[in-house]
Amino acid sequence: MPSISNPFADSTVHNDTLLHYLTLQGRLSNQEFGEAFQVIHDKRRRAAPPGSQAAPPKAADKRAAMRLYGQLGFGDYDAQHGLLRVHPPGVILLPAPTGFCGRRMLLTGARTRQLIEDISQQAAALDVEVEVSPQPNSNTHLLLPDRVVLTARGTAQTSYGLPKLKHLAAECRLQFCSDLVQPELMAFSTKLEAYGASLQPHNDELPDDWKQSWFNPQTLQWQEGIGDKSFSLVEFELTVYRRHCYLWQDNIPYAVDKSWGRYLVLSRAEAGAPKRVLLHSQSQELLAVPAATPLPELPARAATLLSGLAPEQCFIEYGGQIRRYNVYSAPGMYTLLYNKLPELLGQKIIEVQHLNCLPPSCYE
């Protein structure tokens, strides 16, 4: 069990507790993160009112939390080696709402109580607003840190308040990035066609004694069986922690990232044409991604950092089917998504007038 010293000593366990612990340690392995995650959950359940139903965390919750800590900019998650390394504290630019005169920046990286106090003091002196908000309710069980947004108002003559934010960052020793990193992340990410062309045949013997399942692009579900070796995505599973994905093409297996593999299969699902699965509402500024086909790492990080909020988990009815979706807040990003996603993922977004998001509790 991890050393539950300074960050966990308070009687009140708040949303930033796990990030404080990560900051103190510098990095956490899968096991260390999972143990700390469990300790905080246990403490919250003990402090919960009598009769409340707080379910114990699952292994999948811990893995999802580690990924989201990386995608929210708090650290770098190395899935291959099972490590989460904290980033230095910093601020990055957020897209500005239409008509807004000013600049908004998201606090990322390591966090301590003292840092938040220092930021609050400097913000008051510089006329910078500090907005602290929890992550969506559907993610409460993932113990994600609060979103902290710094806002400075101004006109073109005052560079829209950016000098105030830069001065605050210098005083609080925050790394300062005045560029929109979200489009850069999408530009830096590999493209689906290039990813498919880069795959190399897997020449070692496959673990045929492991459980096998294949991804059905029509239902977006995994089905037990070996799949079609002319073209299909197959997962070999020994345990919940030991899984390997392979893309079969012309009876040749290729080792593949699971997320990219699903989009490769979707790109040929409709008689060789793509099956479109991404929903977007321009009026709500929301992007809905089926939970069964999560975005690959860099596109997921770009989408998450559009708002600094983890995607909300909910159910949406579309095309006569009700599916679980990860819904990203994507303010002012319609043009970027419309232009980039076809090249990036082989997906043209489906524009809908309104996304009616129903909480998971309605179907669980």
pLDDT in tens, 278-326: 999 999 999 999 999 999 999 999 999 999 999 999 999 998 889 999 9
| 146 and 135 Cβ atoms separated by less than 8 Å | yes
Rounded to 10°, the helix 181-188/334-345 angle is 10
pLDDT in tens, 19-60: 999 999 999 999 999 999 999 999 888 887 776 667 788 888
pLDDT reported for residue 53: 66
Asked if pLDDT for residue 14 goes beyond 80, the answer is no
Q: How far apart are CA 177 and CA 185, in angstroms?
A: 14
Asked if pLDDT for residue 9 goes beyond 60, the answer is no
> 3-state SS of 145-204?
CCEEEEEEECCHHHHHHHHHHHHHHHHCCCEEECCCHHHHHHHHCCCHHHHHHHCCECCC
Asked if pLDDT for residue 4 goes beyond 60, the answer is no
Residue whose token pair is 């197959």: 234
Asked if pLDDT for residue 145 goes beyond 80, the answer is yes
Residue whose token pair is 């009687």: 11
Distances (CA, A) of 2 to 18, 23, 35, 165, 217: 12, 14, 7, 37, 42
| 205 and 322 Cβ atoms separated by less than 8 Å | no
pLDDT in tens, 217-276: 999 999 999 999 999 999 999 876 678 999 999 999 999 999 999 999 999 998 778 899
pLDDT reported for residue 361: 62
Q: Provide the token pair at 136.
A: 């969506």
Asked if pLDDT for residue 12 goes beyond 80, the answer is no
The secondary structure element, H or E, covering residue 22 is: helix 17-25
Q: How far apart are CA 324 and CA 317, in angstroms?
A: 9
The secondary structure element, H or E, covering residue 343 is: helix 334-345
Q: How far apart are CA 183 and CA 179, in angstroms?
A: 10
- DSSP-derived letter for residue 136 is P
364 pLDDT band, cuts 50/70/90, is low
125 pLDDT band, cuts 50/70/90, is very high
What percentage of the chain carries pLDDT values higher than 90?
73
Residue whose token pair is 């076809």: 342
pLDDT reported for residue 2: 33
pTM value > 0.75: yes
Average pLDDT for residues 64-89, to the nearest whole number?
94
Asked if pLDDT for residue 199 goes beyond 60, the answer is yes
pLDDT, mean over the chain: 90
The residues spanned by each domain of the chain are 1-179, 186-190+274-362, 200-255
CA angle 68, 182, 132 (to 5 degrees): 55
Distances (CA, A) of 328 to 42, 270, 355: 29, 26, 12
Question: From the CB of residue 88, how many other CB atoms can be counted at a distance below 10 Å?
Answer: 10
100 pLDDT band, cuts 50/70/90, is confident
pLDDT reported for residue 240: 67
pLDDT reported for residue 275: 94
Residues 6+ apart with CB under 8 A from 12: none
